[in-house]
Structure 1
Amino acid sequence: MQRLIILLFILSSVLSGSVLSQPIKQNNKDKRTIRLLLNDWASQVVMTKITGRLFEKLGYHIEYLESNVDGQWYQLKFMNADIQVEVWEGTMAKKYHQLINNGDIVDAGEHAAKTREDWWYPDYIEEQCPGLPDWRALKKCFKVFITTESDPLGQYVGGPWEKPDAARIRALDLPFKIIQAKDSEELKARFEEAVKQRHPILIFNWTPNYIEAEIPGKFIEFPEYTPECEKNASWGYSKIFPWDCGNPKGGWLKKVVRKGFKQEKPCVYAVLSKISFTNEMMSLLSKLVDVDGLSSTDAADFWLANNKKIWLDWIKNYQQCQS
Structure 2
Amino acid sequence: MLKRPVWNVAGTALALVLATNAPASSADLGAKDEPIKLPMLEYTGQHVSTHIAGQLLQKLGYKVEYVTASAFPVFSGLADGTISALVDIWLNNVGDIYPKVLATKKIENIGSLGLETREGWIYPKFMEQICPGLPDWTALTKPECVQALSTPETAPNGRFLDYPSEWGSRSATILADNSMPYTAVPSGSEGAMVAELEAAEAAKTPLLMMFWSPHYTLAENEVGWVKMPPCKEQAEKHCITQPESVKIVWSGFGAKWPAAYALLKELKVNAQEQEKMMLAIDKRGQDLDAVVKEWLDSHGSTWQPWIDAAKK
In structure 2, distance between residues paired with 1:67 and 1:60:
21
Work out whether residues 84 and 253 of structure 2, in 8 Å CA contact, stay in contact via their aligned partners in 1: yes
- 1:247 aligned partner: 240
Name the Cα RMSD after superposition.
2.3
Q: How far 1:147 sits from its partner (Å)?
A: 2.2
Aligned residues: 286
Q: Residue 93 and residue 252 in structure 1: after superposition, are their counterparts in 2 closer, same or farther (change >3 A)? A: farther
Q: TM-score, normalised by structure 2?
A: 0.84
Say whether residues 1:147 and 2:140 are aligned partners. no
Q: Name structure 1 gaps, 5 residues minimum.
A: 1-20, 232-241
- 1:24 aligned partner: 23
Within the candidate set 258, 263, 274, 2:266 is matched to 274
In structure 2, distance between residues paired with 1:275 and 1:211:
25
Q: How far 1:176 sits from its partner (Å)?
A: 0.8
Say whether residues 1:40 and 2:42 are aligned partners. yes
In structure 2, distance between residues paired with 1:48 and 1:29:
20
Instruction: Report SS of the residue matched to 2:137.
Output: coil
| Amino acid of the structure 2 residue aligned with 1:198 | K
Say whether residues 1:190 and 2:196 are aligned partners. yes
| Amino acid of the structure 2 residue aligned with 1:165 | S
Say whether residues 1:285 and 2:277 are aligned partners. yes
In structure 2, distance between residues paired with 1:85 and 1:93:
18
Q: How far 1:167 sits from its partner (Å)?
A: 1.3
Say whether residues 1:95 and 2:97 are aligned partners. yes
- 1:214 aligned partner: 220
In structure 2, distance between residues paired with 1:29 and 1:78:
17
- 1:108 aligned partner: 110
Q: Which has the higher helix share?
A: 1
Work out whether residues 124 and 200 of structure 2, in 8 Å CA contact, stay in contact via their aligned partners in 1: no
In structure 1, distance between residues paired with 2:140 and 2:58:
50
Spell out the pairing of 1:122-133 with structure 2 (5 A cutoff): 122-133=124-135
Work out the percentage of aligned pairs sharing the same amino acid.
Answer: 26
Within the candidate set 211, 229, 234, 1:229 is matched to 234
Work out whether residues 121 and 201 of structure 1, in 8 Å CA contact, stay in contact via their aligned partners in 2: yes
Q: TM-score, normalised by structure 1?
A: 0.82
In structure 2, distance between residues paired with 1:28 and 1:128:
61
Q: Name structure 2 gaps, 5 residues minimum.
A: 1-19
Within the candidate set 244, 268, 287, 1:295 is matched to 287
- Show CA shifts across 1:30-64 (max 9, x none): 43310000011111011111111111111111111
Work out whether residues 77 and 105 of structure 1, in 8 Å CA contact, stay in contact via their aligned partners in 2: yes
In structure 1, distance between residues paired with 2:182 and 2:105:
40
